[in-house]
Amino acid sequence: MQFTHYAYDFEVNQPIEAVFNKINDVAAWWSTQLEGESKQLHDHFTVRFGETFYTIRVTTFHPYDKITWTVANSHMDGFEEADEWNGTRIHYRLHPTPTGTLVHMEHEGLIPGGVACFDICEKGWNFYLKESLVPYLSDKAGLPT
């Protein structure tokens, strides 16, 4: 059986320009413990969740189309393979629709059975995307850690 990477698709009733800019406003929806920048190609930023952290490079930045973040360094507190996010890539692909913007998010390398953190990481992404980013993109407050 072949497993796929974690992915989540959603549509918001907002213009693609606003969606693109808000995804890059990481402190507003993922973690307020942000060091660095996430708003242009080659930026580096670190998000922290207690002892857990992810240091990320912006490796693709095509305005109003695609963003790729590559995890350069990570430490997940409580996991034997605390750096298993290293080298994974987080993609956001945006597509205009008649009523707004369709977002396809994929965490390449976050595979069920392939990484020890999959269940916890899936729950984390589900929260930050569904409960924080989607409302933030819809002009409500995000729920960053």
Give tens-digit pLDDT for 6-29.
Answer: 999 999 999 999 999 999 999 999
How many Cα atoms sit within 13 Å of 6 on the Cβ side?
Answer: 23
Looking at 3.30.530.20, 3.40.630.30, 3.40.640.10, 2.60.34.10, the CATH number of the domain 6-137 comes to 3.30.530.20
CA distances (Å), origin 25, targets 28, 32, 33, 74 = 6, 10, 12, 20
For the chain, give every domain's residue range.
6-137
Tokens of 97: 């629709």
- The pLDDT of residue 2 is 53
Give the pTM: 0.94
Name the residue with tokens 């997940």: 76
pLDDT at 1 over 70: no
Give tens-digit pLDDT for 65-107.
Answer: 999 999 999 999 999 899 999 999 999 999 999 999 999 999 9
